Structure 1
Amino acid sequence: MESYILLDYSTLRVVWWALLGFLLVGFAVMDGFDLGIASALHLVARTDAERRVVINVMAPVWEGNQVWLITGGGAIFAAWPLLYAMAFSGFYLAMMLLLVALILRPVGFKYRSKIEDPGWRASWDAVLAGSGIVAALVFGVAVGNVIQGVPFRFDADTLRPVYEGGFFGLFTPFPLLCGVLSVILLVMHGCVFLRMKTEGAVSARAKSLAQLCAIAVILLFAAAGVWVFHGLDGYAIVGEAARSAASNPLGKEVAVEAGAWAWNFNQWPAMWLAPALGLGGALLVLALGFGPWMRLAFLASVCSVAGVVLTFGFALFPFLLPSSLMPGASLTIWDASASHMSLWVMLIAVLIFMPVVMMYTAWVYRVMSGRVTERSVRETPNAY
C-alpha cells in the first residue's frame, strides 16, 4: 500500500511540522486579535455604548477564529499522538484553566445583553476581559515551559508517559515572561484591528494602547531572545536522527547545552527572518502612527505575531516537547508522529478542505468589512 504514497516518511513528518506551524500562526493571528481586544476592553471603552461597539467588533468573527485552535488541536491529536498525550496530560490543570476561560467567552457574549442592568453588564464585561487575559497568558506560559523543558519521562518497558511537575511549577520566571509577552503582543494586535474597525474615542484609545504595547513587545521579545540564546540550556540530537523509522522516543541520545536553541539559526541563516519580523512588525506598528496607514499597520502587526510564533518553532526544530527529566525521551518530529499512511491520508484531506476553509473565512471578513459605530450598534436589532 505504501508504494502508492508519493512522499517518503521523513518528508511527510517535515510537511506536517510545517502544517502545524501554519495552524499555530493562523490561530495566533486570527483568534489572537479578538483575545487581545477582549483583554483591552476596559482600557479602550469606558461607557456601555463604547463597550458594545468593541464587543460587536469581535462578535461576528470570534467563533470562526477559534476554529483555528480546534483544528490545531485536532492536527496534534492525529499527526503527533505522543505529543498530544504528553502535553494534554502533563499540562492538565493549565489546560482546564484555559478551557474554562474559553468556555466563559461565548457565555459572556450571549448573556451580557440579556439584562439592561449596569451591574450585570459590568460583571460580564469583566468575565470577557479576564477570559481574554487568562487565555493569552496560558498560551504564553505553555510556550515558555516547552522552551525550558518539561519534567516528563517514559517508562522504559511500557512507554507510559509520566509527568512529574506541578501546576504552580509552570509559573517560573521565564514562562511568566513569555506569558506577559503573549498578553501584550495580542493586545497590540487586537488594538490595531480595533483602530481599523471603530472611530472616535475608542479608535483613539486603541491607537495609543497599540503603540504602548508595541514598545513593550520590542523590549520583552528582545529580552526573551537574549535569555533563550544565552541564559537557557537548549537541546540537540547527538548523531544522526532516525528520520524514517517507526516512532520511538527512546531511540536517540540528546545533549543539553547552553545556546543550543540558537544552532538552527546559525545553520540556516534565513531563519533569522522570523525574529526580524517579530521585532520589525512591532516597530512598524509604533512608527506608522496609523492615519492612512491603518491597513499597513495591521499587516505589520500580523507579521509581528507570526514572527514571534515562527521564532519559537524554528528554535525548537526538530523538537516538539523537550524533556528536562529524561532528555533522551524528548519528543521530536522524527519519533512522535503517526504512521506513514496516516500522515499521507490526512495530508490529502488537508489539501482538499483547507483551501475551502480559507476561502470561506475570506468571504466572511469581506461581508463583515466596514466600521462598527455606536449608531450601527443601536440600529442593528441582533447586535450584542
Structure 2
Amino acid sequence: MILNTLIDYDTLRVIWWLLLGVLLIGFAIMDGFDLGSGILLPFVAKTDLERRVVINAVGPVWEGNQVWLILGGGAIFAAWPPLYAVSFSGFYLAMFAILFALILRPVGFKYRSKRDSAAWRSAWDWALFVGGLVPALVMGVAVGNVLQGVAFHLNDDLRIFYDGTTLFELLNPFGLLCGLLSVAMLTMHGAGWLLLKTEGAVAARARTIGSVAALVTLALFVLGGVWLFLGVNGYRIVGTIATDGPSNPLAKAVEIAPRAWFTNYAAHPWMLAGPALGLVGALASLAFIRARVEIGALLSSALAIFGIISTVGLSMFPFILPSSIDPRSSLTVWDASSSHLTLFVMLVATVIFVPIIIAYTTWVYHVLWGKVDARSIADGNGHAY
C-alpha cells in the first residue's frame, strides 16, 4: 500500500522498460564507436603507426564504455528475470561468441605492442577486428530473431524450456539482415569517432568508409522495415491483460498476425519518431561526414543508433520476448518483471548512481579530449598502446 502511494506497479514496469532501452542504447552508442573502430582498424590504418593511432583513439575510454553493457545485463537480471533466463539459455552459444570476442579486445590492446614483430602485431590487429565485428554482428542477429519470435515455452509451473537447436538456426535471412545492419550502423559510428580523434590519412579513409557505411545503414534499415511489414509476422495480445498483476506470462492470450508489429504506430503516431530519427540520423551522418563536420558526424550517427534501436522497442511494446512455438508464453512488460518492491528499490539505486556514472564519464571525456596523432604516441612516455 505504501509503495502504491509512491509509484504504482504498472508505472514502475513501464519505467523499467524505458530504462532498459536507455541502457541498451547507451551501450550501443558509447561502446559502439569502440566496436566500429575495431571493425575499421585493418582498412583505415595501413602502417604500424597508423594502427597505433586508431588503437589509442579508443584505448583510454573503451573499458569505461563497457559499463553500459554491465548495467544493461544487470538490469535484465534484476528487473526481468524470465527474460534473462530465456536469453542466456536460448542464445547461449551466441552469448559465448560475443564474450569470446569481447575478451579478445583487452588482450589485443595490452599485448599488441609487446613485441616488435610485424606478424605478431598483425595477428592482434585482426583479433581486435574480430572483437569489434563479432559482437556487432551477433547482437544484430539476436535482435532479428527476437522480432521473429524465440523457440521457448513455459509449462504450467512457469518453468522455462528452450526448444531451439543450434546457433546456426539463428543465422536465418532476416536475422542476418539485422546483423549486417548492426555492423553497418556501428561502422558508421566508429568512422564518426575516428574523424573526431584522428587526422591525415586515417581520417580520410575513415571518411570514405564511413560514407559508405551510412548509405548501407540507411538502405538496410529501410529494407528491414519493408521485410518486417511484408514477410515477418508480429504478435499481439488478444483481450485484456492485467498491467498491475503478478508476473505470470500464461495469464493472457496472444496471437501471431501479419503486420502486428506496426499496430502501435497506428494507435500512437508519436512512435513514428523512432524510425524517423533512424533515417534522419543516418542521412545527417552521411552529410556531416562528407562535409567534414566531425562532431556533427558523431552525434548524428548516435542519433541514428537511438532511432534504430528505439524502433525495435516501440514496435514490439508491450512484448519484450515473443515465443514462436507458444505465443501465450511470450514475455511482456506486464507479466515478466520482478516484484513491485524490487523494481522500486532498483529505481532508487538507479536515480542515485546513474547520474554519478554520467558525470564521471563526462569528466573523463573532457580530460581526454583532443586528437591522437603520431607525436602524441611518440611523446606518450610508454603509456600509449
What TM-score do the two structures reach when normalised by structure 1? Answer: 0.98
Q: Residue in 2 aligned with 1:65?
A: 65
Q: Residues 44 and 5 from structure 1, CA distance in 2 versus in 1: closer, same or farther, beyond 3 angstroms?
A: farther
Q: Residue in 2 aligned with 1:77?
A: 77
Q: Residue in 2 aligned with 1:206?
A: 206
Residue 292 of structure 1 and its aligned partner are, at CA, apart by: 5.5
Q: Residues 239 and 281 from structure 1, CA distance in 2 versus in 1: closer, same or farther, beyond 3 angstroms?
A: same
Structure 1: distance between partners of 2:29 and 2:118: 33
Q: Residue in 2 aligned with 1:247?
A: 247
Q: Residues 306 and 3 from structure 1, CA distance in 2 versus in 1: closer, same or farther, beyond 3 angstroms?
A: closer
Residue 291 of structure 1 and its aligned partner are, at CA, apart by: 4.5
**How many pairs are equivalent?**
383
Structure 2: distance between partners of 1:4 and 1:317: 24
Q: Residue in 2 aligned with 1:15?
A: 15
Matches within 5 A, 1:344-355: 344-355=344-355
Q: Residue in 2 aligned with 1:362?
A: 362
Give CA-to-partner distance per residue, 1:74-120, whole Å, 9 cap, x none: 00000000100111111111111111011111011111011111110
Structure 1: distance between partners of 2:193 and 2:342: 39
Give CA-to-partner distance per residue, 1:293-335, whole Å, 9 cap, x none: 2211211111001111100110110001000000000000101
Q: Residue in 1 aligned with 2:159?
A: 160
After the TM superposition, which parts of structure 1 deviate over 6 Å for at least 4 consecutive aligned residues? none
1:298 aligns with 2:298: yes
1:122 aligns with 2:131: no
Matched residue SS, 1:40: helix
Matches within 5 A, 1:1-384: 2-3=2-3, 6-156=6-156, 158-166=157-165, 167-291=167-291, 293-380=293-380, 381-384=382-385
Give CA-to-partner distance per residue, 1:323-380, whole Å, 9 cap, x none: 0000000000101000000000110000011100000000010001000001111110
Structure 1: distance between partners of 2:196 and 2:207: 9
Matched residue SS, 2:320: strand
Matched AA of 1:287: A
Give CA-to-partner distance per residue, 1:205-235, whole Å, 9 cap, x none: 0111110111101110000011112211000
Matched AA of 1:278: G
Residue 289 of structure 1 and its aligned partner are, at CA, apart by: 4.1
Structure 1: distance between partners of 2:218 and 2:319: 26
Structure 1: distance between partners of 2:40 and 2:15: 36
Structure 2: distance between partners of 1:50 and 1:241: 57
Q: Residues 27 and 3 from structure 1, CA distance in 2 versus in 1: closer, same or farther, beyond 3 angstroms?
A: closer
Is the 2:188–2:211 Cα contact (8 Å) retained in structure 1? yes
Is the 2:153–2:160 Cα contact (8 Å) retained in structure 1? yes
Matched AA of 1:39: I
Structure 2: distance between partners of 1:69 and 1:204: 31
Is the 1:185–1:214 Cα contact (8 Å) retained in structure 2? yes
Matched AA of 2:48: D
Give CA-to-partner distance per residue, 1:158-193, whole Å, 9 cap, x none: 221111112111100000000011011100000011
Matched residue SS, 1:225: helix
Structure 2: distance between partners of 1:269 and 1:80: 28
Structure 2: distance between partners of 1:285 and 1:79: 34
Residue 239 of structure 1 and its aligned partner are, at CA, apart by: 1.2
Q: Residues 96 and 5 from structure 1, CA distance in 2 versus in 1: closer, same or farther, beyond 3 angstroms?
A: farther
Matched AA of 2:162: Y
Overall identity of the aligned pairs, in %: 55
RMSD of aligned alpha carbons: 1.1
Structure 1: distance between partners of 2:30 and 2:289: 23
Structure 1: distance between partners of 2:290 and 2:369: 18
What TM-score do the two structures reach when normalised by structure 2? Answer: 0.98
